[in-house]
Chain A
Amino acid sequence: MDILGIPIQALMGQLMLGIVNGSFYAVLSLGLAIIFGVLKIVNFAHGAFFMVGAFTAFLLAQYMGANYWMTLLLAPLLVALFGMAFEFLFLRRLYGLDPIYGLLLTFSLVLVLEGGFRVAFGSSGQPFATPELLRGTINLGFMILPLYRGFVIVAALVLCLATWYVIERTSLGANLRAATERSELTQAFGVNVPRLITLTYGVGVGLAAFAGVLAAPIFHVNPAMGSSLVIIIFAVVVIGGLGSIMGAIVTGLGLGVVEGFTRVFYSEFSSTIVFLVMVLVLLLRPAGLFGREEG
């Protein structure tokens, strides 16, 4: 059976790959949405932290002999610590100022990080082996799916849902949401809001690094790997609704699928389709699909 001249099997294959890519978008945009929701900072360095996550995993594996599972745990933690230090030392000074300052600071961090890694490791990238356990493929009937890509979907979904649960269903999440809405009042109740904000930035950055480690065996680990993604991630967050957690997750997956299908029908347009969707959504729902209109 064909749809528009494309066999249905091929379309199912692209759907599956779209979900894999969407999983990356979901984890990355989730981190970005959390940071924007709480800090009101447009974290332009999100793609760079994704790249640093992949490189940290590469370095841990290369020089300390860490296996993949250790890197999946350690790299996001290390990058989160780095992110928290960055928030504590620099970003903190910009709260309350025009958002453009935050954007400029985080953008400058991108240039420093990407430039630094390019000087140290070159632009061609470093190979990163797929873990032994996840090598091989599964035959889904309509396509042969590499086992690792299947793992990416599961890992990303588990992480996204866990993050959503913590924010929406636990007391820590309640404090966080309270701090977002009424930060002074929350502080009056004895919650250490500045520490909560540092922690939030760390979690957002850690999510980006986690996605970076997930991506390392699929994409070559190279300094530019985040910069091509970050623009799409911003579009995802805007489409989902700025600061909306569920919006980021659902939109991330959805746009991955839309992009995948575009590659089949009109490949040259695949890098543009996300932005076309963004324009349409903003025209019809200026607050995004899951965002709340203010005021």
Chain B
Amino acid sequence: MPAKNSLKTLVVSSAVLSLGGLSSAMASNGFSDDVVRIGVLTDMSGIYTDLSGEAAVEAVRMAVEDFGGEVGGVPIEVIHGDHRNRADTGASRAREWYDNDGVDMINDLSNSGVALAVAAVADERQRHAISNSASNIGLTNDYCSPYVTHYTYDAYSLAQGTGKTIVEDGGDTWFFLTVDFAFGIGLEEQVSEVVREAGGQVVGAARHPLDTTDFSSYALQAQASGAEIIGIASTGADAINAINALAEFGVSPDQRPAALLLWYDDIVSLGLDTAQGLMLTNAFYWDANDETREFSQRFYERTGRMPNMAHAGNYSSTMHYLNAVEAAGSDDPDAVSEKMRELEINDFFASGGYIRPNGRMVHDQYLWEVKSPDESEYDYDFLRLVNTIPGEEAFQPLEKSTCHLLNGNGCPAIRARPWPGTSLHSSLAL
């Protein structure tokens, strides 16, 4: 019997010892499961595939490869998934990734509805989420979180760029063609505010469902409104169809369309004949300087397309996240969050960029004009720089943000946790 007992003791104690050894190994390298896993949650099969999609995944992969494939001695892994433009699908995929698959950071997040839903999950699970493709400023206002970063652009910067310039240029009566969900409505609100602040007037709006093919009746309503500017608060295929319909129905000479969120890919699709003269606010253009050209050339070789601002943002934000992980020496979300806000972003995408306490990455935005076919000298030579909007002007002033992390004066406040009393580490372990 004593022999049996001592054997039992030996087995139990060796098990305890090995477990203890394991946990101390995990603690010593500071990485939760010996891998930093990045999930790219994007539209792989719907209306926004070209704006984000497979190319967004490739941009993140490029960043990981350029970073060296590992950070702090552990490998970096990239997985991807399709949110199918549905907020519930996006949120449940995010939950699954954070809870079961050990995903440390979710990137891209095209579609504002999806991005807001995933931001709420990220905040609840205390893991990182970065949106590069969505525009809704709720991400840095009511839905803000220490773990959520809004990186490339937002509805406010679009309004400050395209909206403000057009109003200042004399276009002061507006009619909106708005896609009927969080993104379109948010964008319409932002631009309306800019128009009214500048003394202009919004005479009306027509809301259309996502993925509308026929815009002819909206074109007629826009004509009948008599507004000088037809603001198109949609993007991708919707914006393309709207611009085509307005061109086909020939809005009267004293009316002109203003595409509030036009992507580089949309211009490729529209063709310069139709798109020439349109203004667009984009954070990135492949042909801006030598650095952007170098990145874009490599991107083109891998994907067969030039990167748009979200693709470039996916690369830059992944790099920034990994730099923060390296600086923190851990993938602990709080430590990484602190480092992300501390480190400055200087690469081909942003110069002197930084992340505010509410998660807004502040960097310069650019107003471009689409060239005419005659002005375009080589392949993909589409845009001319009109204006640079300094980051501080382009994004919502902190004092206007309703983010609960700020105390109302734009200063960081002590954050109320969703479950008071739950310590960070115990909830992480869950």
Contact = CB atoms under 8 A, between A and B. Distances in A.
Interface in B33-50: 45-50
Given A14-B217, A268-B180, A268-B207, A125 B248 contact: no
A220 B211 contact: no
A124 B209 contact: no
Given A146-B249, A267-B206, A122 B213 contact: no
A263 to B, nearest CB: 4
B137 to A, nearest CB: 23
Contacts of B237: 123-125, 220, 222, 224
A7 interface: yes
Assign chain A's interface to a size class. Answer: 35 or more
A219 B213 contact: yes
Interface in A1-34: 7, 10, 13-14, 17-18, 20-21
A215 to B, nearest CB: 8
Contacts of A219: 213-214, 241, 244
Interface in B204-242: 206-209, 211-214, 216-218, 220-221, 224, 236-237, 240-241
A264 B269 CA distance: 29
Given A7-B224, A118-B49, A124-B265, A263 B240 contact: no
Contacts of A10: 220-221, 224
A256 to B, nearest CB: 10
Interface string A87-112: 00000000000000000000000000
A267 B207 contact: yes
A115 B211 CA distance: 17
A194 interface: no
B211 A228 contact: yes
A127 B271 CA distance: 7
Nearest to B266: A124
A252 to B, nearest CB: 14
A270 B229 CA distance: 24
Contacts of A143: 220
A220 B269 contact: yes
Contacts of A228: 211-213
A232 B329 CA distance: 56
B53 interface: yes
Interface in B171-222: 180, 206-209, 211-214, 216-218, 220-221
A146 B209 contact: no
A148 B250 CA distance: 13
A137 interface: yes
Most buried by B among A13, A20, A267: A267
A115 B53 CA distance: 13
B255 to A, nearest CB: 13
Most buried by A among B47, B49, B51, B217: B217
A264 B217 contact: yes
B372 interface: no
Most buried by B among A7, A13, A268: A13
B270 interface: yes
A67 interface: no
A159 B321 CA distance: 59
A53 B248 CA distance: 22
A218 interface: yes
B268 interface: yes
Given A123-B48, A219-B213, A224-B47, A146 B269 contact: no
Contact of B217 (A7, A17, A123, A126): A17
A10 B218 CA distance: 11
15 contacts: A14-B217, A21-B214, A118-B49, A124-B51, A124-B240, A124-B268, A127-B269, A127-B271, A130-B248, A219-B244, A220-B237, A224-B47, A267-B206, A267-B218, A271-B209
Interface of A: 7, 10, 13-14, 17-18, 20-21, 115, 118, 122-127, 130, 137, 143-144, 146, 148-149, 218-220, 222, 224-225, 228-229, 260, 263-264, 267-268, 270-271
Given A7-B224, A143-B220, 4 more contacts: A17-B220, A126-B269, A220-B240, A228-B211
